[in-house]
Amino acid sequence: MARANYIRYYLEQAAETQAARRALLKNSAISLDKLSDPDYNVDLLQVRQVINNIKSRSHPLTAIQFGQAFSVKHLGLIGHAILSCDTLADCTRYWNHFNDLVGNVLNYPLLIKDDYCEIEFEELCPLGDSLPFCIEQSLASTLQVVMELTGESIRYQSIELTYPANKSRLTEHHYRDFFGCDVIFNGRRNVATFLASDFDRKIHTADEETLTLLDQHCQDVLRKQKETGGIAQQVRQLFLKYSRNPPKITEIASLLQTSERSLRRKLDNEGLSYSGLRNDFRRDLAIEYLKSTDLAAKEIAYLLGYDNISSFRRAFKEQTGETVKVFRNKLKAQP
Q: Is residue 256 one of the residues assigned to a domain?
A: yes
Q: What CA–CA distance (Å, rounded) separates 255 from 247?
A: 9
Same domain, yes or no: 65 and 137? yes
307: domain CATH number? 1.10.10.60
Q: Is residue 260 part of a domain?
A: yes
Which domain covers residue 309, as residue numbers?
230-333
Are residues 316 and 246 located together in one domain of the fold? yes
Q: Which of 62-66, 85-89, 184-188, 317-321 has the lowest mean pLDDT?
A: 62-66
- Residue where a domain terminates, one of 152, 171, 206: 206
Structural domains counted in the chain: 2
236: Cβ–Cβ under 8 A, 6 or more apart, which residues?
Answer: 43, 277, 281
Domain-located, residue 292: yes
Query: Among the three residues 190, 206, 222, which one is the final residue of a domain in this structure?
Result: 206
Average pLDDT value over all residues in the chain: 89
SS3 content of the chain, % helix, strand, coil (to 5): 60, 10, 30
Q: How confident is the model at residue 206 (pLDDT cuts 50, 70, 90)?
A: very high
Region 71-78 average pLDDT: 92
Strand order in the sheet with 110-113: 110-113, 116-120, 191-195, 158-160, 183-184
Indicate if the pLDDT at residue 61 is higher than 70.
no
Cα–Cα distance for residue pair 301/310, rounded to 1 Å: 9
Statement to judge: residues 237 and 168 lie in one domain:
no
Q: What is the pLDDT of residues 4-20, one digit of tens each?
A: 999 999 999 888 888 88
pLDDT of residue 104: 93
- Is 328 found in the same domain as 242? yes
Residue 195 forms part of a structural domain: yes
Residue 1 has pLDDT above 80, yes or no: no
**What pLDDT is recorded for position 335?**
62
Structural domain includes residue 83:
yes
Specify whether 50 is located in the same domain as 184: yes
